[in-house]
Amino acid sequence: MEICKILDPGMLCTIQDLGRKGFYTIGIPTSGVFDQISFKYGNAILKNNANDAGIEVLWGGLRLVFMEDTVIAITGADMHPKVDDAAVPMWRPIQVKKGQILTLKGPPEIGVRAYLSIAGGIDVPEFYGSRSTYLLLGRGGYEGRKLEKGDILSSFEAGNRAGLEDVNQYVIPTFSYPWRIRILLGLQKDLFDAQTLQNFGEKKWTVTDKANRVGLRLSGQEVKYHIRDGVIDSGIGGIDPSNIPTEGNPLGSIQCPSETELIVIGPDGPCEGGYAKIGTIITADFHLLGQVKPGDDIFFRPIRYSEAYRALHDQKEELSYI
Amino acid sequence: MVFKEPIILKGGDSNITIKFGDDGSLYLNLYILTFEKITKSRKPQWLVDTTALRTTIMLTFDPLLIQIDGVIAAVEEIIADGISVPNEYPSRIVHLPVFYNDPLTRECAKCFNMPPNLEVMAKENNTSVDEIIRRHEAPEYFVSYTSFMFGSVGAFPIGKYKNIKNSKYKTPRTWTPPGTVGIGGSTTAIYSMKSPGGVMMLGNIPIKTYDIDAKNKHFENGNLLVHPGDRIKFHCIDANQYERLKNQRDSYAYEIESSHIEWKSYGNM
């Protein structure tokens, strides 16, 4: 069913779901929504399936017209949504009529990505088991690309799933700035000197203008490695102290290729890499990374594994209250 | 060589990296590929993905189903049961033309304020650009992994060869031309698409390493040219051959030999 037509795609809008899993060996990253939590709330509010595809809206500027009556939800960063000329709330089911125009003007005060979920989910073909757009390869989502003016999106039948009952106010996630993101130190942490490890969790990092779905480069502190003798690891990795033999890149892992810059791996990031990693953002906080923008400050807090798992289970439980 | 005890690195709440050795040898690679096969065959419910590389394998798991200590215990059990690497391993030989020191590669280096990378490599190895090219073209390469990007390759020389050692970019490039062949450490990488990268660039391959739409008939039975376990032989071509092959991308007849590899004949384990 043709559900809406894009009048203006704004800065960057892509179709995403929860991503594809199991294809790292052939170089296909997970892709999928960057802020999974906001996205999951959107589908939960509409009583969609958790993996139904929606639109990830970066920064704002999206305008679209509905071609049928439907129910939508907008979650994530507050883009000041309007239906025709009337402001509509975030994190709520919204009934829209054929011919009405939705505007997500943005930009948000905090955060950078919003999610537009539509009852039934967006109908685009699957690529390797997911409807997510993977821009580098030009596959998935809407013809493998970002949305453009004039694109017509279809949705699946919502059946009786879409509900207009109100959502429990208390469980709606809020964002607070500066960003505080929990990490687990690990992987090559022993290659870094003690001062670097200590500063890492105490001082702020600033997001540079190189920040997108592939990864984010952060600056602001000095990263020092232990001096290692000559060529490390039989030269398989390379001769700089930051070089390691190529390893898998976990989602949210933090690489340190130079003394002044970090790279955090995003959903479209390479599946492997050869730079030492100091640690990884916990799964329960990874969605926050999808809301940071150039110029934002981030404080990383190293925690224990048990805390990371507890946070993840708590988060799952909260989502179930919707 | 394979470590007596593998090193298990915790990589966050949803993955571990197991380092089985550090020499990146043919035997170590086959050992890792065998471990991967055994792990997958056990079909653990928590297993989301495996990423086998030259010295390591990363296991990604569902952190809502299992915690990291449970995965480590499962891995230790698989290893305790024994990993036996077959001596004969199926391994095709794929021939690939390379235009070394080509203008596209030099232009890209310039965009990131680097001299032509072959010059950097010549300096780091106390030799000439021509000698680096000769050393690179001579040996056969074993494909260790294809996980950087769709259609990408990470391979290393086997048999007798003269080593090339070099650094990587201090600040990785934000883009690399598709078809780029480069070296990071002793691993030769092929970039299949415009993507970030940090290895030193040697040259460019004019033909496809992947083809999702199978415009070239070769890809009708699979979108990828090479797989872990295959071998590659690079062949130096000039500017004219490069242009000609570039124009024949959709009709190019790939030269691939069916074969197998015996790790025992490559000596050290």
Q: Which CATH number covers residue B68?
A: 3.30.1360.40
**Which of A26, A137, A243 shows the shortest C-beta gap to B168?**
A243
Q: Are residues B101 and B144 in the same domain?
A: yes
On whether any CB of chain A is under 8 Å from the CB of B229, the answer is no
Q: Assess whether B155 and B60 both reside in one domain.
A: no
Give B232's pLDDT tier (boundaries 50, 70, 90).
very high
CA distance B82 to chain A (A): 23
Q: Is residue B2 part of a domain?
A: no
Q: With an 8 Å Cβ cutoff, is B151 touching chain A? A: yes
Best residue in A26, A280, A310 for a mutation probing chain B (most B CBs within 10 Å) = A26
Helix (H) or strand (E) run with residue A198 in it: helix A194-200
Least confident of A80-94, A137-151, A308-322, B26-40: A308-322
Mean pLDDT of B129-137: 96
pLDDT tens-place string over residues A99-146: 999 999 999 999 999 999 999 999 999 999 999 999 989 999 999 999
3-state DSSP assignment of residue A234: helix
Which of the listed residues B85, B114, B143 is the one where a domain comes to its end?
B85
Domain check: are B119 and B230 in the same one?
A: yes
pLDDT category, A233, cuts 50, 70, 90?
very low
Comparing alpha-carbon positions, the chain A residue that sits nearest to B63 is A309
Taking a C-beta distance cutoff of 8 angstroms, is the pair B193, B212 a contact?
no
Every domain of chain A and the residues it spans: 2-171, 179-320
Q: Which residues in chain B (5-24) have CB-CB distances under 8 A to chain A?
A: 9-15, 17, 22-24
Look up residue B68 and give its amino acid: I
Domain that holds residue B14: 7-85
In chain B, how many domains are there?
2
Q: Please tell me which residue of chain B has the smallest CA distance to A316.
A: B64
> Which of A186, A257, A271 is closest, CB to CB, to B171?
A257
Q: Tell me: the pLDDT tens digits for A257-276?
A: 877 889 999 999 989 888 88
Q: Which residue of A has its CA nearest to B189?
A: A246
Residues of A within 8 A of B52 (CB-CB) are 25
The token pair at A310 is 């507890």
The whole-number average pLDDT for the span B125-131 is 95
CA pair distance A239, B161, nearest whole angstrom: 20
Do B46 and B136 fall into the same domain?
no
User: By three-state DSSP, how is residue B205 classified?
Assistant: coil
Q: Which CATH architecture has domain A179-320?
A: Beta Barrel (2.40)
**A-chain residue closest to B184, CA distance:** A238
State whether B61 and B115 are in the same domain.
no
> Which tokens hold the place of A250?
């976990």
Please say if the pLDDT value at position A166 is more than 70.
no
**Is residue B106 domain-shared with residue B191, that is, in the same domain?**
yes
**Rounded-to-integer distance, Cα A220 and Cα A205, Å:** 5
Q: What is the pLDDT of residue B264?
A: 86
The partner residue sitting opposite A234, judged by closest CB among B14, B24, B51, is B24
Q: What is the 3-state secondary structure (H, E, C) of B37-88?
A: HHHHHCCCCCEEEEEECCCEEEEEECCCCCCHHHHHHHHHHHHHCCCCCCCE
Among A66-75, A121-130, B102-111, B155-164, the range scoring the smallest mean pLDDT is B155-164
Give the pLDDT score at A168.
66
Between chains, do B58 and A238 touch, taking CB under 8 Å as contact?
no
Determine contact: B147 vs chain A, CB below 8 A. yes
Distance (Å, whole) CA A41 – CA A39: 5
Helix axes B129-137, B117-124, angle to 10 degrees: 90
